[in-house]
Amino acid sequence: MRHESRWDITRAWFGEWLPETLDWFANWFNTPGFGGAAALIAAIVAYKSAKHKIVEERKEGKKDRDAATERHGADAKAERERVERENWWKMLIWVYDRSIGDGAEPRLSLDVTLELLAALEVETKNDFETGLLEAVMTMFSIQEQPVVPVASAGMRTKRRLRLSLRAWLARKFA
């Protein structure tokens, strides 16, 4: 039995081209060219991996930013509404205080008071505020000017008037 080399067997099956190609690759694996090609392939794989990771992080970051913007927008809107309501109440108290007068500042006329209350009515946000304004406007419309004792008592008189307004509103809305 004749001992044949593996190349003899492959030459018999595939012809001369395959063993020569395999020999070329076997020699090429030991050259710097193979090292460069392997480095190039490794760089391409690393680039694709990094690009994929960055794209995914950007998508997640955009989702997080959108959610944060939405939360911030809702918080900012709630804060704006809170400030608007607070300013509305301050203006209502100012109009009421100026219309009843405390002696330190001149009273607002009935026409000006009703116009300011009508302007506040445009900015009402709920039924309570609308009802409150209607009650105050009714109170001022019934009389030429609200009956207020002379402001000799100062802040006590003002406080009593506020308390009486609150009691009147409580009876009206009870």
Would residue 89 count as lying in a domain?
Answer: yes
Would residue 9 count as lying in a domain?
Answer: no
Higher pLDDT, 128 or 17: 128
Domain count, the chain: 1
Give the pTM.
0.44
Would residue 161 count as lying in a domain?
Answer: yes
Would residue 72 count as lying in a domain?
Answer: yes
Q: Could you write out the three-class secondary structure of 51-101?
A: HHHHHHHHHHHHHHHHHHHHHHHHHHHHHHHHHHHHHHHHHHHHHHHHHHC
Confidence class for position 95, pLDDT limits 50, 70, 90: confident
**What per-residue confidence (pLDDT) applies to 65?**
84
Domain that holds residue 105: 14-173
Would residue 3 count as lying in a domain?
Answer: no
Would residue 1 count as lying in a domain?
Answer: no
Dist CA 38 CA 32 (whole Å): 10
Would residue 66 count as lying in a domain?
Answer: yes
Query: Does the pLDDT of residue 80 top 50, yes or no?
Result: yes
What is the chain's mean pLDDT, rounded? Answer: 77
Would residue 52 count as lying in a domain?
Answer: yes
